[in-house]
Amino acid sequence: MGQLHDLTALEQAAAVRSRTISPVELVEHCLERVDRLNDDLGAFLTVTAESARREARQAEARVMAGEAIPPLHGVPIAIKDLNNTKGVRTTFGSVAGLELVPDFDDDVVVSLRAAGTISLGKTNVPEFGLPNYTESAIGPPARTPWDLSRSAGGSSGGAAAAVAGGLIPFAHGNDGGGSVRIPAAVCGLVGIKPSRGRISNGPASLDPGNLVHQGPLARTVRDAAALLDAMADGTGGAVALPPGRTFLEFAEREPGTLRIGRYCATDTADGTLDPSVRAAYEATTELLVSLGHQVEELVPPPIAASLDDFMTMWSAAPAAVQLPPEAEAVLRPFTQWLRARGAEIPATAYLRAADSVRALGRRLMLAGEAFDAVLVPTVALPPRPVGAARDDDPEADFAGQADFAPWTALYNVTGQPVLNVPVSWSETGLPIGMSLVGKLWDEASILSLAAQLETVRPWADRKPACW
């Protein structure tokens, strides 16, 4: 069997159910790895060891008593530190949040607990989840386990580092502009941004543009699908699957023959990819064709004219966060810049921008309407070195982030489901992610397609040195 962290999340759940492994053993094993590897990976900001041990003992007692147990009973997980957790510090990656202990759980946290998972703590995030790298003033940078000199991406960088490093089998993340998919791409994981409304953002979401999606990070498509089932249970008014249907079943069926569009160039990103990303894009296309799918070029609509409007929407949320005056001085320069920009936006300008961005989303969806799925690189470049971001020059910092991931935020606008597949690796051993975009509410097609790719080009057996 190897070590416990060699097991997938579903294998761990099955072993708990059969009494082959106890939840206590799983939690202790993962906590030992967190204690030993977290300084290098920067995965966790807060470790809740005692509560995890207590929940593991309770979970084990339920198994031994022969009680009915939920599908992921006893499996360790962690919650991204942008989500509220009752009685557990929730920093939002900021010095301003170091003393914040919510008195409620976000809906997705409730759902994960109901599914039987046991949280080991809160994973690392950049301040307020704003940049697509995870470097803050309150913890070590999150690093991809494949090269500790490079960033794990953001804003779910800690979650991705934890899963890719074998600290936990899967993790919760969220995505307001690529924050699940980007870390998945640079850490060699499956990451899913589901359809808008599939998972609740309640009860206290500050997301006026409705751009943020909760989503899973995992090493396999089946694990990601099972975690998506747990998160998308209809809590908080979210849109659940019909009774009796699961995302896991979609990951276990053949996709059939699909018509797939592809693109890597827009009027804001000219298709000049790093050679390793270009090679992965072409290799993935060839693999899809070899599996019998029809792959065609897609021409996306003009995007450049809407960039200022998207920026208007994106800067409004951090500007709306209420902080005491003394907290402003301790914020990162990038955060201060966005808050200052957002504070100057009149309500009428915000509404006009929102209308413009929604119109762009409709045009983008129409451009892909003829296809069952769309292939696009998740990021344009290999993982960036830690410290490469120019936080002292926020405008240059933002431009660098846009160059790194030019396409991800488009699908927060459309609300379509997107799944990152780690189907390619560079000659230097770094993962390169490709995104599969589905039609709105059609996670099924991209889950089935990703599972097919995983079958013919498996990736989960690849392990970083720290494994």
66 Ramachandran zone, left/alpha/beta (phi>0; psi -120 to 50)? left
Alpha carbon distances (Å) from 133 to 57, 156, 163, 410, 457: 36, 9, 17, 18, 28
SS3 (DSSP) at 419? strand
Q: CA-based angle 54:24:103, to the nearest 5?
A: 30
The neighbour count for residue 311, using CB atoms within 10 Å, is: 18
Q: Are strands 259-262 and 294-297 parallel, antiparallel or unpaired?
A: parallel
* 401, 132 contact by CB (below 8 A): yes
Alpha carbon distances (Å) from 10 to 59, 74, 77, 110, 323: 16, 11, 12, 20, 41
Alpha carbon of residue 234 to chain centroid: 20
Sign of CA dihedral 377, 296, 228, 3: negative
Closest CA to 132 of 184, 205, 196, 79: 184
Catalytic positions are 80, 155, 179
d(CA 122, CA 105): 13
What is the rounded (10 degree) CA torsion for 454, 420, 298, 404?
Answer: -140
In the sheet with 118-123, reading across from the earlier edge strand, the strands are 44-47, 118-123, 76-80
Sign of CA dihedral 26, 247, 249, 447: negative
SS3 (DSSP) at 5? helix
SS3 (DSSP) at 214? strand
Rounded to 10 deg, the angle between the 9-17 and 221-231 helix axes is: 70
Which pair of tokens denotes residue 8?
């997938």
Q: CA-based angle 53:94:203, to the nearest 5?
A: 70
d(CA 28, CA 19): 16
